[in-house]
Structure 1
Amino acid sequence: MKAIDSFKDPEKSLNLNRLPLPLPVERAIQKLGVDLSLARRRRHISQASLAERIGASLNTVKRMEKGDPRVPLHFVARTLHVFGDIERLSQLLDTGQDQIGLVLMDAQLPKRIRASKTPGVAL
């Protein structure tokens, strides 16, 4: 039990709420909020109706649309689901399209492959 309790000690754990958001992150979250607000209004859905449909409070929807980074991701995901755009969330970091990751993996490939020295093992 002692090990579990140590994670609850604020002095021993890193508090991510104290770290300032990098400006590009802050701008992206604010843009997402504006885009969600615009998408909701284009669909003629009130904030109260959206809140009910995603299982959130009206205040949470207002904070999400203002770009509050403390709004849980699942509310954004539920909102995308209501808007019919949940597939876009699953494509955010598609590993098959991750050019940097693919280049890094390719750089670690062996220069050549040697035949196995174990008899009877064919490649």
Structure 2
Amino acid sequence: MLVSLQTLQRLEAGDPTVGIANLAAALFVLGMTQRLESLVAPASDTTGTAEELARLPRSIHAPRDDADLDF
């Protein structure tokens, strides 16, 4: 993996400051790249999904008359 022993120990301990590249390298060495695929899948990102939903407008308004539809 070409990382220091300290980085490997932090990775094993679940330290969130370890870089994603180090995690990807460890999963590759262990033959577990499918875990990385599921980790970065948008469907599994509940926090990101919640943030996106929070950014959506609360309500939308239909145009008042045909004049508003002038493209």
Per the normalisation by structure 1, the TM-score is: 0.36
- 2:62 maps to which residue? 113
Pair member with larger Rg: 1
Is 1:93 the counterpart of 2:48 in the alignment?
no
Residue segments in structure 1 that go unaligned for 5+ positions in a row: 1-53
Deviation of 1:75 after TM superposition, in Å, equals: 0.8
Which residue of the partner structure matches residue 64 of structure 1? 11
In structure 2, distance between residues paired with 1:119 and 1:68: 54
Alpha-carbon deviation of 1:88? Answer: 1.6
- TM-score by structure 2 length? 0.52
| 1:116–1:81 distance in 2 versus 1, CA, 3 Å | farther
CA-CA distance at 1:60 after TM superposition: 1.6
Root-mean-square deviation (Å): 3.4
Q: Deviations over 1:3-27 (max 9, x none)?
A: xxxxxxxxxxxxxxxxxxxxxxxxx
Q: After superposition, give the CA deviation of every residue in 1:73-92 in whole Å (9 maximum; x if it has no partner).
A: 32123323441222122124
After superposition, the C-alpha distances for 1:32-80 in whole angstroms (9 at most, x for unaligned) are: xxxxxxxxxxxxxxxxxxxxxx332233212211233432232123323
Q: What 5-or-longer segments of structure 2 have no aligned partner?
A: none
Specify whether residues 79 and 116 from structure 1 end up closer, same or farther in structure 2 by C-alpha distance, changes over 3 A only: farther
Change (3 A) 1:55 1:104: same
Q: How many residues end up aligned between the 2 structures?
A: 65
